Structure 1
Amino acid sequence: MSEVAKKKGGSPDKIRIVLIVALIIIVAGAGFKIYTDNESNNALQAEFDATKITLTTKLDSISGQLSNRISEIAKLGGNIDSLVTLKDSITAQRDQLQRTRVANKAIIQRLDRKVGGYEELLLAKDDEIAALKVINTKLVEENIDLKTEKNELNSTIRKATETQQELKQQISLAAKLKAENVKIFNINARGKEREGDFRSRQAEKIKVTFNLADNPVAPVAGHKIMIQLVDPAGNVVFDIARGSGSFTVDGREQTFTARQEILFDNSKQEMAFVYDKGSEFDEGEYKIVILSDTYEIGRTTFIVR
């Protein structure tokens, strides 16, 4: 190469050296950029992972607190439909965040804003719960007052009913007939009557007389007046052919010796029963029980010697 050429272009070795240095600089720059980009991406991913954990924890906490609010509002009678829907949405957002592996700034920003809104909603629901508690307390107090009034009214009605029943019972007892001046006569074969005790051979028939006592409470009404002649063994003398029969009291059948039907008119009516036994009377004490309808209104005894 001529001296002129060497002066214009330089030596080939120098040119190669310059090119190699330039190439090294370019490769080093590219490598540094890749390195710095990787470091930046790693830092971004690490930040995303940390933020994701924080947001997941917050969403879980909000979901749990929301469940408590839902339970309390339901007990107080409030509407929980929208809250249940919101809780399901929060659960879905948390699941979506957990599935996101690569850093996504948009998702983080969106959820971060929503978390703030959810926290404000929880505070608002606390106010709603406080208001519902006040309403429920008033309702409970009103309900207690109503129950007290109802109980007092029921007590008054019950007492009035008991008083009415007692009054009816008293009137019913007061209205019962009563036999007074009960007397026993024996009648011999000649038709002669003798009052009081007697010997068995002295009587073929007995006669029971009495009058119905004055009772202004008892209404004018029909009654069945019956007598029971009870022998010394405790048996009612009974003969259908001579007018005897039976009646029922409290589900139990009883017999009567003789019966008459009358219209009670509160005139101290006198009554007489004549009973022909058809055989001699056994010795001992006899009882005469007088009944009106089904209840006793008088009794007496006599002795046969």
Structure 2
Amino acid sequence: MSDQKDPVNKGDRNKIYFLIVVILALLGTNAFLFFRDKHEKERFVTTNTEKDRLKLEVEKIEVEFDKVNLMNVALTEKLQNEQQQARTKIAELKKALQKGDVTEAELAAAQDELKKLKAFLTDYKEDIGHLEKENTYLKSERDSLATSVNSVKAKAIDLEKKNTELAAKVKSSAALKAFNVRILAYKVKNSGKNVEVSKASAAKKLTTYFNIIPNQLAEKDYHKIYIRIFDPAGNLIANETNMFEADGQEMQYSDMISISYNNDDTQYTLEWVNPKPFIKGTYSVILYANGFTMGKASLDLK
């Protein structure tokens, strides 16, 4: 009687249980797949975020090296080699991080290399800082030395100028100076006797008489005395080959004698025979010794 009251037979009940189990299994599988995909997506996002962060950090480090290069610091060979090694490592890291898929192991390795690069950059910048300070100190020392050298050069030039001026003054002070300079005109008789004249038509030669001012600085030795004679028209009477230097320029002279100077009262004479007839007017003579003007005189001939 009980079997007739139950609308679901035993076979149908077993099918229902089986379907329930299948449904539960499917739900469990879907849940597993959902959470697994979610975890993978989260891991992918985390990995990509870390990869992007590492890329940014590497680029920052590269920029820091570029800034160092812009500093006006001459790098030592050691620092140049170290920078080259660091840039090689940066290039390798950038290449590794540009891959589409980066494993966690590769990411961990990149993080480790980045830490090493940061530590190296810190030490490298410290070395550059020390080098820059040394260069600044050396530049300061060099500038100071250059200033000292320039100062010494300026003093040397000034001293040389003063020595030159002093030498010129000494030379000028040691030069012979004449006084009592006078000129007489003479004609020469057949007997050879000189007779003083005042007329140009009778004159044959001029004789210049002079004394030398006592001078303790003047050298007691032979000195050359040069004379320049000008006619009444102001023309120099001289041989073109007779050249000497005085008062800072080269000029012609009419005649020259050598005297023995002993710093005494000796009177000196210089005779000059006119190669052409004298003319009426004033004849002027200028004496020179030791490169300076020695004395002057003039004579009127009627």
Structure 2 CA distance for partners of 1:295 and 1:245, relative to 1, 3 Å: farther
Could you list the runs of 5+ residues in structure 2 that have no partner in the other structure?
A: 1-9
Displacement of 1:298 in angstroms is 1.3
Kindly provide the amino acid, as one letter, of the partner of residue 158 in structure 1: I
2:271 counterpart of 1:284: no
TM-score computed with the length of structure 1 as normaliser: 0.77
Kindly provide the amino acid, as one letter, of the partner of residue 152 in structure 2: L
Structure-to-structure mapping, 1:76-91, within 5 angstroms: 79-91=79-91
Displacement of 1:275 in angstroms is 2.5
Kindly provide the amino acid, as one letter, of the partner of residue 247 in structure 1: M
2:242 counterpart of 1:246: yes
Structure-to-structure mapping, 1:29-44, within 5 angstroms: 29-30=28-29, 32-44=31-43
Counterpart position of 2:295 = 298
2:54 counterpart of 1:55: yes
Displacement of 1:104 in angstroms is 1.0
Could you list the runs of 5+ residues in structure 1 that have no partner in the other structure?
A: 1-9
Displacement of 1:225 in angstroms is 1.8
SS of the residue corresponding to residue 174 of structure 1 reads: helix
Partners of 2:166 and 2:249 lie apart in 1 by 28
Displacement of 1:64 in angstroms is 0.8
Displacement of 1:119 in angstroms is 3.2
2:177 counterpart of 1:181: no
Q: Deviations over 1:142-167 (max 9, x none)?
A: 44443444344334433432332222
Counterpart position of 1:273 = 270
Q: Deviations over 1:59-118 (max 9, x none)?
A: 1112112322354483586834202321231132022201x2124111222222333343
Partners of 2:159 and 2:249 lie apart in 1 by 33
Counterpart position of 1:214 = 214
Structure-to-structure mapping, 1:228-267, within 5 angstroms: 228-238=228-238, 245-249=241-245, 254-267=251-264
Partners of 1:199 and 1:102 lie apart in 2 by 129
Kindly provide the amino acid, as one letter, of the partner of residue 237 in structure 1: I
Counterpart position of 1:225 = 225
Displacement of 1:120 in angstroms is 3.6
SS of the residue corresponding to residue 242 of structure 2 reads: strand
Question: How many residues are paired up?
Answer: 288
Displacement of 1:300 in angstroms is 0.8
Displacement of 1:183 in angstroms is 1.5
Kindly provide the amino acid, as one letter, of the partner of residue 106 in structure 1: A
SS of the residue corresponding to residue 201 of structure 2 reads: helix
Displacement of 1:222 in angstroms is 3.4
Displacement of 1:247 in angstroms is 0.5
Kindly provide the amino acid, as one letter, of the partner of residue 101 in structure 1: G
Displacement of 1:230 in angstroms is 0.5
Structure 2 CA distance for partners of 1:145 and 1:253, relative to 1, 3 Å: closer
Q: Deviations over 1:270-301 (max 9, x none)?
A: 32222332543212221111123654211111
Partners of 1:210 and 1:128 lie apart in 2 by 85
Structure 2 CA distance for partners of 1:189 and 1:166, relative to 1, 3 Å: closer
Displacement of 1:126 in angstroms is 4.5
- Compare 75-84 and 154-163 and name the one that shifted more: 75-84
- Compare 180-189 and 35-44 and name the one that shifted more: 35-44
8 Å contact kept, 1:63–1:91: no
8 Å contact kept, 1:225–1:261: yes
Structure 2 CA distance for partners of 1:276 and 1:131, relative to 1, 3 Å: closer
Kindly provide the amino acid, as one letter, of the partner of residue 258 in structure 2: E
Partners of 2:119 and 2:72 lie apart in 1 by 17
Q: Deviations over 1:211-269 (max 9, x none)?
A: 3332221223433322222012221223x6xxx85114489763322222334343444
Partners of 1:103 and 1:291 lie apart in 2 by 104
Counterpart position of 1:7 = none
Kindly provide the amino acid, as one letter, of the partner of residue 58 in structure 2: L
